A = this chain, B = another copy of it.
């Protein structure tokens, strides 16, 4: 039994989709979330910069006495997971492996035909080829179709996920995917679960959508069990949120992600800790 909180971080609000799923299946766990809202987005930043930002955040989460770390950001998972693991003794998971494994598990096997997996994400995530390589490593026979969709994040953050603009943007990015008969589509960005409804309409529900947030929460549960660090049952887990800028706008946009109002949002400019050292 271990009452320490689970540490979750993202470049901004996107990782809250992961918090939502962890909360759903692990109601007794405490969660400390950090959103790097002063430096969001990570999607167009370079590898050394992203790695530096991640270590600053991990240092902060360590001072909050977390028992494990979830990198709830695809860009950071793609570019900094190994780097973070080398710099902490805590168990660390990203969002990529859970999504990849779920896609291969859930994509139906039809007549020995190779599996066709689509991946959509930010430009940095797709360019890193983290998903493509991981899929190929676990199932060398699968075909992977990857497409950056950079406009989806601002559309979700502007609360336009079900608008005509979202529809047009889906058309622009994914028209070519419609004729591919994909078996599964990995939503390789933590913002994208909010586009599920529009994506289901777009694909006429014929493509299985893989929500990395759900899959990551399942992996968190497994890690807690394997390390014997689950919280005691018969308690209610609490959430605390830290951001590097503007708690107000985080609360506003964040409530769309969690489907309930956020309290306990605190300002924490992590870079000050680093430069003070």
Q: How far is the CB of A99 from chain B (nearest CB, A)?
A: 24
Q: Which secondary structure characterizes the binding site on chain A? A: loop
Q: How far is the CB of A116 from chain B (nearest CB, A)?
A: 27
- Nearest residue in B to A250 (C-beta to C-beta)? B44
Chain B residues positioned under 8 Å from A160 (CB to CB): 151
Q: CA separation between A269 and B271, bound complex, in Å?
A: 14
Q: 1/0 contact trace for A162-179 toward B, CB 8 Å?
A: 011100110010000000
Which residue in B38, B150, B158, B172 is a CB contact (below 8 Å) of A165?
B172
- Nearest residue in B to A153 (C-beta to C-beta)? B154
- CB neighbors of B among A44-83 (8 A): 44-46, 49
How many of chain A's residues touch chain B, expressed as a range?
20 to 34
Chain B residues positioned under 8 Å from A49 (CB to CB): 38, 245, 269
Which residue in B44, B164, B271 is a CB contact (below 8 Å) of A37?
B44
Chain B residues positioned under 8 Å from A245 (CB to CB): 44-46, 49
Which residue in B39, B150, B163, B172 is a CB contact (below 8 Å) of A39?
B39
Copies of this protein in the assembly total: 2
Question: Any chain B CB within 8 A of the CB of A155?
Answer: yes
Question: Any chain B CB within 8 A of the CB of A249?
Answer: yes
Q: CA separation between A160 and B181, bound complex, in Å?
A: 28
Which residue in B39, B44, B150, B168 is a CB contact (below 8 Å) of A168?
B168
Q: CA separation between A38 and B155, bound complex, in Å?
A: 22
Question: Any chain B CB within 8 A of the CB of A246?
Answer: yes
Q: CA separation between A276 and B38, bound complex, in Å?
A: 21
- CB neighbors of B among A141-164 (8 A): 150-151, 154-155, 158, 160, 163-164
Q: Are A165 and B163 in contact (CB under 8 A)?
A: no
Top 6 nearest A-B pairs (CB, nearest first) are A275-B275, A154-B154, A165-B168, A45-B245, A46-B246, A46-B245
Write 15 A-B pairs (CB below 8 A) sorted by A numbering.
A37-B45, A38-B45, A44-B245, A44-B246, A45-B245, A46-B246, A150-B154, A150-B158, A151-B154, A151-B158, A154-B154, A164-B172, A165-B168, A168-B168, A271-B271
* Extra contacts besides A46-B246, A168-B168 (11): CB < 8 Å: A39-B39, A44-B246, A45-B246, A49-B245, A49-B269, A150-B158, A151-B154, A151-B155, A164-B168, A165-B172, A271-B271
